[in-house]
Amino acid sequence: MTVKKELGIQEKIAAVAAGAIIISALMYWGYQFVGMLEFLEMAYE
Amino acid sequence: MELLPFFEWAETTFLGYIGKTYGGVYATFGQSLHLMALAVLGGSVLVADLRLLNVIMKDVPSEIVTEQAHKWFRIALVMIISTGIFMAAAVAQRMYHNDFFWAKMSALLVGIIFVFAIKRPLLKGSHADLNPIVIKMVASASILVWFSVAATGRWIGFSG
């Protein structure tokens, strides 16, 4: 029998904060990466 | 709140004067110590978070690894902030107008709050009692936020 463990309040807060940081960081660096690609494309032309 | 007067004042302080006038002092006490501290901080973050992700040191309990790494993290953070203030004071007005400086400060603030308000309290007890997915999310977020601090910090030197 498997016992499904519920997340504690501290774990929930940590999960939300970590998720927000991961999404924000990926969006920020994705945006910078797209900018870099556009720059390289312009420089190549 | 207008912060420019604060940055203008910072350049006129003793730290700003020393950093601006003596390039050698700026390079040795500022940049080299700052980069060494960044290396220690990055090392402690990677060791702790890669252990939490079950990538390295699997034979050592993660509680011990994170506890030991955190001691070095604190030392490196104090060094980074003190040398960072010295370096920024010398070029304060240029920093004020640099987007990456503000990106770095934001990432640093988020990183400090995340470590001391969320990561540390969560990992204080036994890690076996915690949900493994949450542990991995926290470790990934920690790597990403400190990578952002380091990368935007280096970017300051190549922009504006």
Give one DSSP letter per residue of B84-146, joined into a string. Answer: HHHHHHHTHHHHHT-HHHHHHHHHHHHHHHIIIIIIHHHHSS-GGGS-HHHHHHHHHHHHHHH
How far is C-alpha A26 from the geometric centre of its chain's CA atoms? 4
| DSSP assigned state of A5 | P
Q: Lowest-pLDDT range, A12-21, A26-35, B1-10?
A: B1-10
Cross-chain Cβ contact A25/B137 below 8 Å: no
Angle at which helix B132-156 crosses helix A9-44, to 10 degrees, equals 40
* Residue of chain A whose alpha carbon sits nearest to that of B143: A22
CA B157 to chain centre: 16
Q: Which residue has the tokens 């990561």?
A: B119
pLDDT at site B141: 97
Task: Please report residues of B whose CB lies closer than 8 A to that of A25.
Answer: 141, 144-145, 147-148
Number of domains in chain B: 1
Q: Which domain holds residue B86?
A: 4-156
Contacts of residue B47, Cβ cutoff 8 Å, sequence gap at least 6:
B56, B57, B65, B69
The residues on A that touch B, with CB distances below 8 Å, are 5, 7, 10-11, 13-15, 17-19, 21-22, 25-26, 28-29
Instruction: Select from A3, A7, A21 the residue whose CB has the most chain B CBs within 10 Å, as the one to mutate to test that interface.
Output: A21
Banded pLDDT at B160 (limits 50, 70, 90): low
User: With an 8 Å Cβ cutoff, are A17 and B141 in contact?
Assistant: yes
Tell me the pTM: 0.87
pLDDT of residue B110: 96
B17 alpha carbon, distance to own chain's centre: 25
Angle separating helix axes B14-21 and B62-90, nearest 10 degrees: 80
Domain positions in chain A: 9-45
Does B144 contact A5 at a Cβ distance shorter than 8 Å? no
What are B75-122's pLDDT values in tens digits? 999 999 999 998 888 888 888 988 889 999 999 999 999 999 999 999
pLDDT in tens, B11-47: 888 888 887 777 777 777 778 999 999 999 999 999 9
What tokens appear for B59 in the block? Answer: 């034979």
Residue B126 near residue B63 (C-beta atoms within 8 A): yes
- For residue A8, what is the DSSP state? P
Say which amino acid occupies B159.
S
- What pLDDT score does B56 carry? 94
Query: Which residue in A15, A17, A29 is closest to B114 by CB distance?
Result: A17
On chain A, the residues whose CB falls within 8 A of the CB of B140 are 18, 22
Are B30 and B83 within 8 A, CB to CB? yes
Q: What six digits make up the tokens of A36? A: 């870099």
Nearest C-alpha neighbor of B29 from the set B76, B87, B78, B81: B87
Say yes or no to pLDDT of A4 above 70: no
Do the chains contact at A28 and B145, CB–CB below 8 Å?
Answer: no
